[in-house]
Amino acid sequence: MRPSHSPFKEYVRQLHHKKTVRAITTATIVVGLPVIGAYSCLLATRRLKLERLKITIANEHADLAGLKIIQLSDLHYGPTNRNNRYFNRAIDIVNALNPDLIVLTGDYYQWDPDYIHQLPAMLSRMRAPLGIFGCFGNHDYGSCYPGKIGNDPIDYRIVKHTFDKNNITILTNETIRLQYRGQGFNLTGLHDLWSGMFDPIEAFEGVNTHFPTIVLSHNPDTAGLVERGYDLMLSGHSHGGQVSWPLIGSLTTPMIKKHFRRGLHRISERKQIYVNRGLGHTFKMRFNSPPEISLIEIG
């Protein structure tokens, strides 16, 4: 008679255990990956999330407390991302929030100039008493690669003109002065870092140092490249990682300071940056990085 815990029984038990683990792993991959893939492509790209945050600007010259800023970024409107119903839903949400100021932080298009006139017309439906202002992202110069401006038909000058015609001002290395409840502040917009025209010295020429400064700069890597003082930089570019796997992280984040790929970060005692995850996408997929509308209240 065999003992109940014979080596043979233990061998069979381990064999069955390994088979069970293998079967569960295979089933998870076979069933799970298509489910995750379908979710990432069909749902996650449209699951808009409103991020409400309060940011303190410690400037002794002006108190902007209560100023409500909406930030939209990285719309990538084009052949792979032309869901007007989705963008109109975002615009309705923006208008329902009654912002004082709306800012756009670049990457409006995706390689195709046929969409250049449609997007500003749609965005011009947004309402804010201080207006709508923006900066360019790398995709708005006709290429997404450094130093390759003009390799495809999108021309940033035409883009700027079409936005202008719809009362949306794109700031290209320039500063304007705005007023909120009698308090002045600077709004500075920079050319994109990859455009070859990024010039913070030129952009800050119009800054009045007696007022707080909010900077629009598409690429978060610029936060450390602007030597002049600013209070808040608003950026995009990273899409929050776009596809951001738990434990592994983002597979493609085209920036050096990858920890700046989303959210609020302090650069120095005065300077801080907020990075919006974007509204669109560069390829039809998002995971663990929902598209974003930011509502920033200055505290």
Binding site for Fe ion (CB under 5 A): 74, 107
Instruction: Give the shortest CB-74-to-Fe ion separation in angstroms.
Output: 4
What's the rounded Cα separation, in Å, for the pair 240 and 278? 7
Instruction: Give the shortest CB-278-to-Fe ion separation in angstroms.
Output: 6
Nearer to Fe ion, 212 or 278 (CB): 278
Nearer to Fe ion, 78 or 99 (CB): 78
Nearer to Fe ion, 100 or 107 (CB): 107
Residues 6+ apart with CB under 8 A from 76: 107, 108, 109, 110, 139, 278, 280, 281, 282
Helix ranges (H only) for the chain are 7-27, 33-38, 84-96, 118-123, 156-165, 200-203
Residues 6+ apart with CB under 8 A from 96: none
- Residue of 211, 208, 235 lying closest to 223 (CA atoms): 235
User: What are the strands, taking DSSP E only, across the chain?
Assistant: 49-55, 68-72, 101-104, 132-134, 168-170, 174-180, 183-189, 213-216, 232-235, 244-245, 249-250, 263-266, 272-275, 292-298
Nearer to Fe ion, 74 or 292 (CB): 74
Instruction: Give the shortest CB-71-to-Fe ion separation in angstroms.
Output: 14
Amino acid at 156: Y
- For residue 39, the tally of other CB atoms under 10 A from its CB is 15
Do the Cβ atoms of 186 and 208 come closer than 8 Å?
yes
Instruction: Give the shortest CB-246-to-Fe ion separation in angstroms.
Output: 23
Nearer to Fe ion, 73 or 162 (CB): 73
Instruction: Give the shortest CB-249-to-Fe ion separation in angstroms.
Output: 18
Nearer to Fe ion, 34 or 146 (CB): 146
Instruction: Give the shortest CB-107-to-Fe ion separation in angstroms.
Output: 3
What's the rounded Cα separation, in Å, for the pair 137 and 189? 11
